[in-house]
Amino acid sequence: MDSLDGKRLLLTGVTGFVGEALLQRLLVDLPGTRVLALVRPKPGQSGEDRMRGLLRKPIFRAAGSVEDLVPSRVEVIEGDLADVPELPDDIDVVVHCAGDVSFDPLIQEAFETNVHGTRRLVERLLEVNARGERTPHYVHVSTAYVGGRRRGSVPERAVDHTVDWRSEAAAGARVAERIEEDSRTEAMLRRFLREAERDHGRAGPLSVAAGAEERRATWVRDQQKAAGKERGRTLGWTDCYTFTKAMGERYVEEVAAPVVPTSIVRPSIIESSLVHPYPGWIEGFKMAEPIILAYGRGELTEFPAAPDSVVDIVPIDHVVNAIIAVAATPPPLSEPRYFHVSSGARNPVTFRGLYEHVRSYFTDFPFDSSPEILPTWDFPGVDKVERKVAMGERLTTVADRLLAFAPRSERVREAARKIDTARGRVDFARRYMDLYKAYTEAELRFTDDNTLALHRSLDPADVELFGFDTSVIDWEQYFEKTHCPSVTGQMRKYEEIRRRRKQLESTGPRALTPVDPADAPVLAVFDLAGTLLPGTVVDTYLTLRLSALNAPARVQEFSRIMRNLPGWIAAERRDRGSFLRSLFRGYADTDLGRLESFIDDVWAPRMLRETSSDALKRIQAHRDAGHRTILMTGDVRPVTRPLAALFDEIVCTELEEEDAPDGTRRATGFLTSPPLVGESRAAWLRRYAEVNGANLAASYAYADSHSDLPLLRAVGNPTAVSPDVPLFRAARAARWPVADWAVSSPTRRLRLPQQVLVGTD
């Protein structure tokens, strides 16, 4: 590679997989080269800082220290493809590695990066050429799949199509804008709001608003992705990625090739290295890794590929070696040269062959020591796999709906785990079937005559270090000894993290840290019904209210509750405050003195018996640690009397009272202020912390309902206690501890007070 000695190369995409590998080879194995890297700064981090961080990776150690490399061999020009800065005149080669490589990008982002980004870079390159000091060689890294959904041999030349990149890029931007506008129509906004109210109504209006906007944004992204995919497919490409890469190529052919020497390198599916910088080196997950790992975990029971279809894989070091050789061999003007870096034409591996190699590896080195979980792929065809995935989607949907009616328990939470796992597998299968279906069905052979000729033109002394003839790859050795061990090594570490996370779920709340009196106060907030005490506010209300009534009045009141209960439950899902107001209207004309006596003499012993001993111990542990304990409940104050001694603060619903003519204090049936529920709990807590100087980041909260999510999110140490399924899922997603303090009654089941059952005073 003597022809590159003393040359200055501009690289884009050096923080990506191909760019990083190329930079490493240039610095380690071509010491006579100098690199100018286009690097995008990030908030609080300059482009040069990012480059220095990159050069500290282990694969760059052989090139020397960061101080030796920057700026003597590596210079950074800050910018990105959205705003390419002016380039210096002494550039010999430009290698454009940057691009949007997602298979399902937003249509506007794919055009912005793969077409407009390329355009801006080429425009700056042509400015350098126009100044006349040098004529740079432009190397454009594309993909072999720009050929589209054709079959048979794909030659190394320009793709035959008449699609205009200008009109398609403009149309893509308009489509994305139209989708954004459509998401804001009255009908769509009502739909998003209705769905958000169904899921978050109990938490409060801000939670509903956030949920509605999240749904709108998700809908917009999904539609913009689908628009790009379908436009690409209607024009003959597999997806938006290959479509926009082809449009970028056409721009290069029209604008760059007539003015500067232009080469286009088209790798197929790039995977881990064969030799350099070491066998199995890979950054992140590429196309095959998610499928390999899902198979090894037993989560992918079938795949929609024809067993004899070729999966065209090439190791990253072969791609880099080819780019280096291409960069060293500029073509004549107006004669762009094309190079397929691929394996399928001369050393093919089929999907069945890949499956057998992966299965062999996991048989010898299984996850969790369970080779029995490995599924057997029969390759039944796309249609059968599609029907199987669709059936899985229907079953998980039905199971999830049924789960909504189940009482809370560890068994229900375990069922939710299993449903979530099953849904994850089905969603995974759906996603990868939709993404890769066109690739698995492709019957392509990327001819690599130009690439092979270039390889054979290497100096014999360079072949071992810089060769890229993919026919030498032993696929059994590569997959079973190199690639699979590399990608699963990362996943085995993640699996250990997952096991620890599950252990955290089962071990309950986190250990407490005592507070120094000089530090800001730490709060410990506890919900009551469903958290400390089994049952619901309806259970408590029935027991307390009916105790004050004679037999006929008890039956009448109980009948009122039963008549209104369905409507109240529906109202509770929308607005828990309204539900509580309706329920507590039944306290009208209650003798509060008699009610308090009943609570102290009769209700308190029963309440303390039913309160979880684990919960009581946790409250005492917070008190011992010097934390300020707060009981926060939507129930009325008399209910809290038995627990008053355990808490520094009790926040509850206050009944309005009046003095009756007989000298008693009686409830009016109204409240003195709105019930503290949902978002209002979090607002109260933040205000309390502000007034008292408390440290919410170090504080704790315990609650059982999805409506308490705002409260739990307000503190640094939340715990979901005997949670309902929505809260359980939110806790798992946020990696919060889950505790089970319930001692008897599940929620949503009314316990009929003995007074009603016997009908006597």
Average pLDDT score over the chain = 87
Encoded amino acid at 288, one letter: A
C-alpha dihedral sign at 392, 393, 394, 398:
positive
Per-residue pLDDT, averaged over 37-47, amounts to: 93
Q: Please tell me the predicted confidence (pLDDT) of residue 259.
A: 95
Is the pLDDT at 287 greater than 90? The verdict is: no
Euclidean distance between CA atoms 616 and 676, whole angstroms: 23
Is pLDDT larger for residue 38 or for residue 383?
Answer: 38
pLDDT of 68-118, one tens digit each? 899 899 999 999 999 999 999 999 999 999 987 777 899 999 999 999 999
Q: Please tell me the predicted confidence (pLDDT) of residue 416.
A: 83
Q: Please tell me the predicted confidence (pLDDT) of residue 752.
A: 35
Q: Please tell me the predicted confidence (pLDDT) of residue 200.
A: 85
C-alpha dihedral sign at 589, 594, 600, 604:
negative
Cβ neighbours of residue 311 closer than 8 Å, sequence gap 6 or more: 269, 288, 305, 349, 350, 351, 354, 440
Q: What is the 3-state secondary structure (H, E, C) of 371-418?
A: HHHCCCCCCCCHHHHHHHHHHHHHHHHHHHHHHCCCCCCHHHHHHHHH
User: What is the set of domains in the chain, with CATH numbers?
Assistant: 2-163+235-499 (3.40.50.720), 523-758 (3.40.50.1000)
Is pLDDT larger for residue 736 or for residue 370?
Answer: 736
* Chain CA centroid to CA 97, Å: 26
Euclidean distance between CA atoms 54 and 408, whole angstroms: 49
Is pLDDT larger for residue 22 or for residue 553?
Answer: 22
Is the pLDDT at 293 greater than 60? The verdict is: yes
For the chain, what percent of residues have pLDDT higher than 90? 56
pLDDT of 476-517, one tens digit each? 999 999 999 998 887 777 666 666 666 555 556 777 878 888
Is the pLDDT at 343 greater than 90? The verdict is: yes
Q: Please tell me the predicted confidence (pLDDT) of residue 567.
A: 66
Q: Please tell me the predicted confidence (pLDDT) of residue 341.
A: 97
pLDDT of 220-232, one tens digit each? 999 999 999 999 9
Euclidean distance between CA atoms 315 and 308, whole angstroms: 21
Is the pLDDT at 284 greater than 90? The verdict is: no
Per-residue pLDDT, averaged over 552-571, amounts to: 70
Per-residue pLDDT, averaged over 38-50, amounts to: 93
Per-residue pLDDT, averaged over 233-246, amounts to: 93
Q: Which range has the top average pLDDT, 590-594, 678-682, 699-703? A: 699-703
pLDDT of 52-78, one tens digit each? 999 999 999 999 999 989 989 999 999
Q: Please tell me the predicted confidence (pLDDT) of residue 61.
A: 93
- The confidence band for 749, taking pLDDT boundaries of 50, 70 and 90, is very low
Per-residue pLDDT, averaged over 371-391, amounts to: 81
pLDDT of 399-458, one tens digit each? 877 777 777 777 887 888 888 888 877 887 777 777 777 777 667 889 999 999 999 999
Is the pLDDT at 390 greater than 70? The verdict is: yes
Q: Which of 554-563, 649-658, 724-733, 734-743 has the lowest mean pLDDT?
A: 554-563
Q: Which of 210-214, 260-264, 661-665 has the lowest mean pLDDT?
A: 661-665
Per-residue pLDDT, averaged over 324-351, amounts to: 95
Q: Which of 679, 699, 743, 713 is nearest to 531 (CA)?
A: 743
pLDDT of 154-185, one tens digit each? 999 999 999 999 999 999 999 999 999 999 99
Q: Which of 738, 429, 484 is nearest to 421 (CA)?
A: 429
DSSP string, 602-651: IIHHHHHHHS-HHHHHHHHHHHHTTPEEEEEEEEEGGGGGGGGGG-SEEE
Euclidean distance between CA atoms 35 and 37, whole angstroms: 6
DSSP string, 647-668: -SEEEEEPEEEEE-TTS-EEEE
Q: Which of 347, 479, 350, 447 is nearest to 144 (CA)?
A: 447
C-alpha dihedral sign at 41, 42, 44, 50:
negative
Specify the pTM.
0.81
Per DSSP, helices labelled H in 8-87 are 17-29, 47-55, 66-69
